[in-house]
């Protein structure tokens, strides 16, 4: 009997650990008797029929590589009925039995669309933002936090030498987890996130207090969705006369080798996804809670609202004194 075929794709923004996850999906798939194919450039590849056979060797030497060897894309066409019809035609032509998608909540909606069309599809959370409520962590978040902490540590040297206030803008549109975690681990004086209210008055008072307490330089971490670093620097200078400098970390947060934690997460997520597909299950996403890998219904997962970790924010505040 011919082996069933599983396709894997990465979709939306890339995140460190996606390659380690592709490796895990492919090797677990093959171990379980499936044939594996990689889809190029997210859902685009399903529509344009760009698929490549994958085996244990094609995922060699990628465990620690950033980005995604399959490449990724945002594919608007896949949101349309026409696009999905074309994708289904190619899926059938290539004898694909199930699909594993690594991406964010948008990509998960694509999994649901495929599952409704009769192709079981499973979502694995891959995004540096950690903005999915149903899971404690998304793939790539830990690496991004480590990258930001490394950057803060370097920037701190110069700010300390020059008695400056450093404003560091990090990624995170609706979710401030990168700012919060990296702010704590990098010893920031003030953290600004989209989920928690802040004011210029509060910020400048804090900076003045830090100066009065003997600090000669300070670090402010701001999530891009909360405020722009350059505007903050301008306003702080105006209100306090302190010397300010801004750094926008940008895409260095998305690249680079995944941390050991992310490689472990990628390996575990991939194994779980194959287990689900093996049972013919689709429309579910994989996550981690209290260090246990689990899965849940995609619609349910995407409708959950992420709680802001006020306890962690309070810890950051006390540690910044
Ligand atoms: P992320 O997965 O990181 O949240 P996007 O929201 O940009 O990123 O979604 C990635 C891709 O997932 C989209 O470009 C599209 O191909 C697919 N997608 C998003 N929403 C839907 C939807 N409602 N139906 C089908 N596919 C979708
Ligand atoms: O979702 C991850 C993320 O890095 C966001 O924090 C950021 O706003 C966005 O992607 C930028 O994506 P791109 O520039 O690739 O469109």
Report the pLDDT averaged over residues 121-131: 98
Query: Measured on CA atoms in the order 94, 100, 104, 106, is the torsion positive or negative?
Result: positive
pLDDT at 2: 76
**Does the pLDDT of residue 187 top 70, yes or no?**
yes
The pick from 109, 135, 303 for probing ligand 1's pocket by mutation, whose C-beta has the most ligand atoms within 8 angstroms, reads: 109
Q: What does the pLDDT average to over 208-226?
A: 97
Which ranges of 168-309 does DSSP label H, i.e. alpha helix? 177-185, 200-212, 229-240, 260-278, 298-303
Q: Return the pLDDT at 3.
A: 82
Q: What confidence score (pLDDT) does residue 1 get?
A: 62
Asked if residue 128 has its Cβ within 6 Å of ligand 2, the reply is: yes
Q: Cα separations (Å) of 190 from 33, 112, 184? A: 52, 40, 9
pLDDT bin (cut points 50, 70, 90) of residue 85 is very high
Return the SS3 of 41: coil
pLDDT per position as a tens digit, 145-167 = 999 999 999 999 999 999 999 99
Phi first, then psi: what are they for 30, rounded to 5°?
-65, -40
Q: What is the mean pLDDT of the chain?
A: 97
**263 within 8 A of 23, measured Cβ to Cβ:** no
Q: Ligand 1 center to residue 109 CA distance, Å? A: 6
């Amino acid at each position: 009997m011919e082996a069933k075929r599983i396709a894997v794709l990465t979709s939306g923004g890339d995140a460190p650990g996606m390659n380690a996850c592709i490796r895990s999906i492919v090797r677990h798939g093959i171990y379980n008797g499936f044939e594996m194919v990689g889809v190029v450039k997210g859902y685009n590849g399903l529509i344009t029929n760009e698929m490549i056979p994958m085996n244990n060797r094609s995922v060699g030497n990628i465990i620690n590589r950033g980005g995604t060897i399959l490449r990724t894309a945002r594919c608007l066409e896949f949101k349309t009925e026409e696009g999905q019809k074309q994708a289904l035609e190619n899926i059938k032509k290539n004898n694909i039995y199930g699909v594993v998608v690594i991406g964010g909540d948008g990509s998960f909606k694509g999994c649901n669309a495929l599952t409704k069309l009769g192709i079981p599809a499973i979502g694995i959370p891959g995004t540096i933002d950690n903005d999915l409520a149903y899971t404690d962590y998304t793939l790539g978040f830990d690496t991004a936090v480590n990258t930001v902490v490394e950057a803060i540590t370097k920037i701190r040297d110069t700010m300390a030498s020059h008695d400056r206030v450093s404003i560091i803008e990090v990624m995170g549109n609706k979710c401030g987890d990168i700012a919060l975690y990296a702010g704590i681990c990098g010893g920031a004086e003030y953290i600004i996130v989209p989920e928690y209210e802040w004011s210029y008055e509060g910020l400048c008072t804090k900076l003045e207090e830090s100066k009065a307490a003997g600090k000669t330089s300070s670090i402010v971490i701001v999530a891009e969705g909360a405020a722009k670093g350059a505007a903050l620097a301008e306003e702080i200078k105006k209100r306090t006369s302190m010397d300010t400098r801004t750094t926008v970390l940008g895409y260095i947060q998305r690249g680079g080798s995944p941390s050991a934690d992310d490689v472990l997460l990628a390996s575990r997520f991939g194994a779980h996804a194959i287990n689900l597909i093996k049972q013919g299950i689709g429309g579910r996403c994989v996550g981690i809670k209290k260090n246990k890998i689990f899965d849940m219904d995609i619609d349910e997962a995407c409708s959950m609202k992420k709680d802001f970790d006020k306890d962690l924010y309070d810890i950051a505040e006390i540690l910044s004194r």
